[in-house]
Homo-oligomer: A and B are copies of this chain.
Amino acid sequence: MDQEIEIFNASTITTTSSEILIAALKLFAKKGYFNTSLTDIAKKANIKNTSEIYQHFTNKQVIAAQLYADIFANLNESIDEIWLKNDKPSEQLRGTVDLLFRLTEDAPDVMRFLLNVKFDEFLPDEKPLQETAAFCKIYKIIQAGVTSGEIRNIDPMLGYIYFFGIVNATLQGILAGVLDKKADTYLLQTWLAAWNCIVKK
């Protein structure tokens, strides 16, 4: 609640708040929101009993909302940086794919939360994915690619779905262990497959 925590990188300082968030993230990613009780979270955060959680968060839903906000804010910032450092849509998309593969290796629980958790089932008031700042930026990158001629003449939404359909499915395969090598192993070929789907030839 207080300050935004650094979920992507392990933060050096750990407050009780951030320990609760990180415990919740791990449990939500592994078992899902509804299979995770406050008792589970307290235990994982090395807190004696659930009462203490209420000193930091008004209820369980707020914990999830905070995670959702933090993760999407971080994602949005990262995409901003990628956008600034690269000019062409192809480079920006490549940078985004690199980011997602890196996160899959370094912060698998964040990626599980992003890819596997159905937010709308317990955060009915949050915006859907297509209205998040992070998504809108990606969408605009694809639009720009179509305009500039780098990407073929396709409905940008369909382009987004094809491109991230491949990327996300691959990451989910890695996270689930169905693809059993390191994420990095699949990066180049998956980028090529996804980009090839939308590139103008």
Contact = CB atoms under 8 A, between A and B. Distances in A.
B196 A173 contact: no
Contacts of A162: 166, 169-170, 190, 193
Given A31-B121, A118-B32, A118-B116, A164 B173 contact: no
Most buried by B among A162, A179, A186: A162
B197 A179 contact: no
Interface in A96-135: 116, 118, 121, 130
A18 interface: no
Given A32-B118, A166-B197, 11 more contacts: A31-B121, A34-B121, A116-B118, A118-B118, A161-B166, A161-B178, A162-B166, A164-B169, A168-B169, A169-B169, A196-B196
Majority DSSP secondary structure for residues of A touching B: helix
Nearest to A116: B118
A149 interface: no
A9 to B, nearest CB: 28
Given A32-B121, A197-B196, A179 B166 contact: no
Interface size class of A (residues with CB under 8 A): 20 to 34
A32 B118 CA distance: 9
